[in-house]
Amino acid sequence: MRFNNKIAIVTGSSSGNGRAIALALAAGGARLVCSDLTSRARPEGFETDLHIDTDQLIRDNGGEAIFVRADVSRHGDMQALVEAAVERFGRLDIMINNAGVAVELKTIVEETEADYDLTMNVNTKGTWLGCKFAITQMMKQPVSDSGTRGKIVNISSIGGLVGLAQEASYCASKGAVNNLTRQLAVDFAAHKINVNAVCPGFLATAMVRQELDNPEIKTLLEDLTPWPRIGNVDDVAKAVAFLASEEAQWMTGSLLTVDGAYTAQ
């Protein structure tokens, strides 16, 4: 299988994109360290099996998975998360920095300092910490038979590439994730560590449940997306699985849009 014997961490794995990514990697044979603030899925999610935790679902499907609680914005939690993966499985091959937050839509005039701090701490600092401890571990590991030392995929957003209305802190946080991704690719290409980002467009997850439950905003998001539907978590998970696979060995520092042509306009 595609990810046989590979060890993967997915942050924010209990809901939405993180859950779909963890399930996709496990379906390919990876052994998973699922991580989130809690193992319970957000109830606003769109999946029909939200009552089953992601790590349990992987085990129910015959895979191997553990859950490790970590707040991505905390240095000690992220260090302990990578240590837990290595203690349990011996190494770390794939790090998916997916956990993220978005505050309600408002302009910078209404945004508070607390909104900014939360968004930057989770989306940007969380990704920085995830990359820092994953790369520290990967640098201790030999290059695998398939020619890489480790793969990192950061879940960014179209909001890191263009300005999205009323999402000042969110766009700032994802713009930083995108350029951090490129910077790390430069520093660690010689060491055969791949660092890429996926930039999804508008998706149906708990994060945007409030907007999608408003028919006017739902129609607006659909109209803004050239492809005749908004995205879903499997669209994102498939692109992440590609970047985490050996098929993408010479891809690093890439910002891969998965957005139904939103940013192509």
CB-wise, 113 or 145, nearer to ligand NAD? 113
Query: Using the rule CB under 6 A, is 99 a contact of ligand NAD?
Result: yes
116 carries an active-site annotation? no
Binding ligand NAD (rule: CB under 6 A), the pick from 73, 169, 196, 225 is 73
Say which of 170, 188, 202, 262 is annotated catalytic. 170
CB-wise, 58 or 149, nearer to ligand NAD? 58
User: Residue 106 gets which letter from DSSP?
Assistant: B
Residue with tokens 């963890």: 22
Q: What is the DSSP string of 139-198?
A: TTSPPPTTS-SEEEEEE--GGGTS--TTBHHHHHHHHHHHHHHHHHHHHHTTTTEEEEEE
Query: Using the rule CB under 6 A, is 100 a contact of ligand NAD?
Result: yes
Query: Using the rule CB under 6 A, is 181 a contact of ligand NAD?
Result: no
Closest CB 195 distance from ligand NAD, rounded Å = 16
> CA 122 to CA 229: how far, in whole Å?
29
Closest CB 200 distance from ligand NAD, rounded Å = 4
CA neighbor of 122 nearest in space, from 193, 183, 176: 176
Query: Using the rule CB under 6 A, is 15 a contact of ligand NAD?
Result: yes
User: Taking contact as CB under 6 A, which single stretch among the options 56-64, 134-142, 184-192, 199-207 is the one that binds ligand NAD?
Assistant: 199-207
In angstroms, how far is the first alpha carbon of the chain from the final one? 37
User: Taking contact as CB under 6 A, which single stretch among the options 53-61, 138-146, 185-193, 196-204 is the one that binds ligand NAD?
Assistant: 196-204
CA neighbor of 233 nearest in space, from 9, 58, 12: 12
Determine whether 218 is exposed, middle or buried from the number of CB atoms within 10 Å of its CB (0-12, 13-18, 19+). middle
User: Which residues of this chain interact with ligand NAD, rule CB under 6 A?
Assistant: 11-12, 14-18, 36-37, 42, 45, 71-73, 98-101, 122, 155, 157, 200, 202-203, 205-208
